Amino acid sequence: MRNTGPIAIVSAMQEEVSKLVELMNGEPTTVGSRVFWLAHWHGHPVIAVLSGIGKVAAATTVATLIERFGVKEVIFSGVAGGLGDDVKVGDVVVAKELVQHDFDASPLFPRYEIPLYARSHFPSSPLQHQCLVQAAQASLPGLARAMQGEHLLAGLGVNAQDILVHEGLVVSGDQFISNNAQREDLRARLPLALAAEMEGAAVAQVCFDFKVPFAAVRVISDRADDSASLNFTQFIEEVAAPYGAHVIQTYLEMRPTHD
């Protein structure tokens, strides 16, 4: 495990990366079709990058971060659809482990198992995970403020006081879960899943390959149901981008500058 090198911050949406780049005053370097934004921020060398949406885009981005930039850890920040009964829009989920819900090499291997790894679940790293949970909790007042965005709060039926930080299973696949049938199918197949997104398990697998610590935080933008795409862009701009940046700054403040 590396103790030197930058901390990588990866997001799938442009609005989230733009917010980070603006705050940290990043300098761009292009590799392939990704722009890597380098900065010194809160006492750490940091690289922010837009992975784009989906598992392949996320995996190639993180492989580049590790091989080309020698990052010492990878933090994913983004949004997800809530699957758990008590996981509401506006809540935060910090991934303890991740599964590719669309991976199926059965009958050769059990469903979800990734051949050669003999596992389906990829864990986040305990130290980074704990620090991210603390950063998410410490940032809740900032999230509550972001949720005050005039139309949004009323439209989403969120009470800022009720926002929770959850820890547990996050499932990833190359699908935006946007109808009740998909949602119920996922919940039946993976009953412990708290949230669905499109990158995390791929990033966790690449980090596992290279033994690079990994953790992921997601703000719940929707309930992965028939109304999932309503308000989505507005939610990213008004809530996920400022809140994500807030959590990352708090995380960097909490991480020791030398391990």
Instruction: Please state the φ and ψ torsions of residue 243, each to the nearest 5 degrees.
Output: -65, -45
**Residue 219 and residue 239 in contact, taking contact as beta carbons nearer than 8 Å:** yes
Size of the site for ligand ADE (CB under 6 A): 13
In whole angstroms, the minimum distance from the beta carbon of 79 to ligand ADE comes to 4
Active-site residue (options: 16, 73, 91, 199): 16
Tokens for 62, please give them.
């993180």
User: Where in 167-196 is the site for ligand ADE (CB under 6 A)?
Assistant: 176-178, 196
> Which one of residues 91, 222, 238, 252 is an interface residue with ligand ADE (CB under 6 A)?
222
Q: Which of 199, 222, 225, 237 is catalytic?
A: 222
The C-alpha atoms of residue 128 and residue 133 are separated, in whole angstroms, by 9
Question: Cα separation of 163 and 160, whole Å?
Answer: 6
Min separation Cβ 223 and ligand ADE, Å: 8
Q: Residue with structure tokens 């028939």?
A: 226
In angstroms, give the least distance from the CB of 186 to ligand ADE.
9
Output the CA–CA distances (angstroms, integers) from residue 171 to 48, 91, 124, in the order listed: 23, 16, 13
Residue 170 vs residues 28, 54, 148: alpha-carbon distances, Å? 31, 14, 27
Tell me how far, at minimum, the Cβ of 222 lies from ligand ADE, in Å: 5
Q: Which of 147, 193, 206, 228 binds ligand ADE (CB under 6 A)?
A: 228
Q: Closest CB to ligand ADE among 50 and 177?
A: 177
Q: How many Cα atoms occupy the beta-carbon half-sphere of 113 within 13 Å?
A: 12
Tell me which stretch binds ligand ADE (CB under 6 A): 25-33, 106-114, 150-158, 219-227.
219-227
Active site residues: 16, 222
Binding site for ligand ADE (CB under 6 A): 79-81, 176-178, 196-198, 221-222, 224, 228
